[in-house]
Amino acid sequence: SRASRKRECRIMATVSVCQYHRGGFSFENCKRNALLEADINKLGFSSPAARKTGTTICGVVYKDGVVLGADTRATEGMVVADKNCSKIHYISPNVYCCGAGTAADTEMTTQIISSNLELHSLSTGRLPRVATANRMLKQMLFRYQGYIGAALVLGGVDCTGPHLYSIYPHGSTDKLPYVTMGSGSLAAMAVFEDRYRPNMEEEEAKRLVRDAIAAGIFNDLGSGSNIDLCVITKGKVDYLRPHDVANKKGVRTGNYRYKHGTTGVLAKTVTPLNLEVVEENVQTMDTS
């Protein structure tokens, strides 16, 4: 009968909802996407690409702390998506993180780790350590087996001193005195390998990072625009954005506007329009 069939439909719909009550990533559309991609490629089009940052990021440990540097260009394939994006993310008052790779992945990952670190530090009552952030990041990235495309440079100063880590998308980390990541990492690393020495002064370290990022900007297509710096010392953070405008947009030299008086005026007539009020309707605004 109709009532029993209706009941059966509701049962099937309900049973399917019963099983699924977990949050997190949903893989419902993966098969559909695979099919669509195959069809689209047959027709000759390409599917939309994720926005990458195509970056140069680097960090260096100096005498009193850590200097992090990043460029500010975000690319979407061959087009610049954002001319001035901020790649140095806040993790905690004494820990900052530069992100290369897929822009959304770096954003969300650093925000999640920042929230977790804040909760953790409230629970312990102490300033968070860089090693804690490193461990949280590497465990999350390993859980997702590299599908979260976030290559990070994590730096900060805690009670044990200044620390600098580089974290790869599959979850491996390196603890080093100077690191570079991103598509322009080779250019920046060349500058570091030439001029790095242990226990530099702050000005020298800032100049070194600025030159390394500039090398990445001028020699790599995926990096460009300005240079952002973040100097972290014990108790103080200097977020210099922009530290250096390496690529200024050009100024137009020619002007196509006609000067006043180019066209001669032959005659002038003025006709005043007399408007009379026909109807007035006042509606009071609800400002409560």
Active site residues: 55
Give every CB contact of residue 218 below 8 A, 6+ residues apart in sequence: 246
Q: Please tell me the number of Cα atoms within 13 Å of 62 on its side-chain side.
A: 22
Closest by Cα among 164, 99, 159 to 128:
159
CB of 154 to other proteins, least distance (A): 18
Cβ 145 to other proteins shortest distance, Å = 6
Taking CA atoms, 166 is separated from 5, 13, 151, 240, in Å, by 60, 47, 8, 21
Our CB check for other proteins shows the closer of 123 and 284 to be 123
Among 27, 45, 256, 258, interactor with other proteins by CB under 8 A: 27
CA–CA gap between residue 97 and residue 139 (Å, rounded): 16
Strand order in the sheet with 227-233: 178-181, 57-61, 65-71, 227-233, 236-244
Binding of other proteins by 31 (CB under 8 A)? yes
Residues that contact other proteins, how many (by CB under 8 A): 37
Question: Helices (H), strands (E): how many in the chain?
Answer: 6, 12
Contact between 22 and other proteins by CB under 8 A: the answer reads yes
Residue 120 in contact with other proteins, rule: CB under 8 A: yes
Give the range of 18-26, 82-90, 125-133, 153-161 binding other proteins by CB under 8 A. Answer: 18-26
121 contacts other proteins (rule: CB under 8 A) = no
| Cβ(165)–Cβ(36) below 8 Å | no
Nearer to other proteins, 121 or 219 (CB): 121
Binding map of other proteins across residues 58-87, x = CB under 8 A, - = no contact: ------------------------------
Cα separation of 18 and 136, whole Å? 32
* Residue 215 beta carbon to other proteins: minimum distance, rounded to whole angstroms: 36
C-alpha dihedral (86, 92, 93, 96), degrees to nearest 10: -40
Eight-state DSSP code of residue 27: -
In whole angstroms, the minimum distance from the beta carbon of 73 to other proteins comes to: 27
**Going by C-beta distance under 8 Å and a sequence separation of 6 or more, which residues neighbour residue 220?**
54, 56, 183, 184, 187
**Looking at 83, 126, 143, 175, which residue binds other proteins (CB under 8 A)?**
143
Task: Tell me the per-residue interface mask from 172 to 201 with other proteins, x by CB under 8 A, - otherwise.
Answer: ------------------------------
User: With CB under 8 A as the contact rule, which of the stretches 9-17, 71-79, 207-215, 254-262 interacts with other proteins?
Assistant: 9-17
Of 1, 2, 3, 26, the residue at the interface with other proteins (CB under 8 A) is 26
Count the residues in the chain. Answer: 288
* Residue 188 CA: distances (Å) to CA of 141, 142, 237, 263, 266: 25, 27, 23, 57, 66
Judged by beta carbon, residue 147 or residue 218, the one nearer other proteins is: 147
Q: Which is nearer to other proteins, 28 or 286 (CB)?
A: 28
Q: Contact positions toward other proteins, by CB under 8 A?
A: 7-18, 21-27, 30-32, 34-35, 108, 112, 115-116, 119-120, 122-123, 140, 143-145, 147
